[in-house]
Structure 1
């Protein structure tokens, strides 16, 4: 997000490290709407931009409408100045990791780029495709697969991601959220 913030915020800005916010333990068993609102409320004093994620499972608009918007609406009743963006890939976030063959080259220190799908978001099971690519590059799969995901997530170039439909929507929404935060109070 720093390159995006630099692009949007023309003046100086401060950005702390992003952190993952999970639902509060006391909310296990509550509705997703209640869990989203509770997680935002619990982290309100520490965060000023919230990104709510849900895999799109092939129906991202429906998932957004049913799984994210009710929670954000509930949170906004308590916090009208909430700034948030929804992150809903078409199927799974793993598809976004398949957008940049150069990221794999950098991570595995090879000149031989893997063969990746032309449209990663069209893959029925992007997680399986990603794991196949990682195995072909010599990755040891198992409990450490999340480490590869974290490294890939950091290495995939924004220009590669911006050619993907669902990422474009997330990018647009995130830009608007950052611009809202960058606006002087009372503007």
Structure 2
């Protein structure tokens, strides 16, 4: 086995920012194989209206076969273990004839944007204004899981860091720049202070040892 293909199934398109985080986790936990990360883009897939998670997983595995499956759900106001149980139930309902790779639940507390609110330099660079000198007053690291709307906080930081005003600020592609933040962060180890991230890394460590993917 020379490469490891992993597929990420997410709540929405903005959650593709999790791919750099998952790639980093696999690398720092000993996976030396060539990595092929795939986001399961189901926006044009033949899905029924209001498809449930099992239906989305079935189509994702059909369209994007992989060695390892990451399934994302934001915890929002629900306890993490409840979201994990929901994902596991959805996986158990997949057709028995479907090839099912090992799956890992990705459940950030609140929203995944909380996991990007620790690197001020990356946010400023993603905003296109690394020279911005004002502090963005990011929440303390250990309080990130308590931020009520991390997406709004991240978008506000990007807009402020851009230094733009008026019409240019109104047309600022904040969603695109939010995705860029994850690509620019080189070290996600500060997130190990957060229980939800600790749980994800523990699951990654277990799987890479189980399948012998550790270098």
The two structures share one fold, judged by TM-score above 0.5: yes
Residue 131 of structure 1 corresponds to: 155
1:153 is aligned to 2:182: yes
Deviations 1:45-75 (A, max 9, x none): xx21111111111213222222x11222234
Cα 1:51–1:75 shift into 2, 3 Å? same
Structure whose residues are more often strand by fraction: 2
1:180 is aligned to 2:210: yes
Cα 1:2–1:72 shift into 2, 3 Å? same
Residue 174 of structure 1: how far off its partner (Å)? 2.2
Residue 142 of structure 1: how far off its partner (Å)? 5.1
Aligned match for 2:84, one of 53, 64, 69: 64
- Report the 3-state secondary structure (helix = DSSP H, G, I; strand = E; otherwise coil) of the residue aligned with 2:109: coil
Normalising by structure 2, what TM-score? Answer: 0.70
CA distance in 2, matches of 1:2, 1:89: 16
CA distance in 2, matches of 1:79, 1:123: 39
Q: Any unmatched runs of 5+ in structure 2? A: 1-21
Q: Any unmatched runs of 5+ in structure 1? A: none
Normalising by structure 1, what TM-score? Answer: 0.79
Deviations 1:106-158 (A, max 9, x none): 44313554211111210111111111211221264657222212211123331
Residue 195 of structure 2 corresponds to: 165
Residue 76 of structure 1: how far off its partner (Å)? 7.9
Coordinate RMSD, CA, aligned: 2.7
CA distance in 1, matches of 2:171, 2:209: 40
Higher relative contact order (CA 8 A, sep 6+): 2
Query: Equivalent residues in 2 for 1:1-187 (5 A)?
Result: 1-9=22-30, 12-16=32-36, 18-23=37-42, 25-29=45-49, 30-44=51-65, 47-59=66-78, 60-66=80-86, 68-75=87-94, 77-78=96-97, 82-107=101-126, 108-110=129-131, 112-118=134-140, 119-138=143-162, 140=169, 144-156=173-185, 157-183=187-213
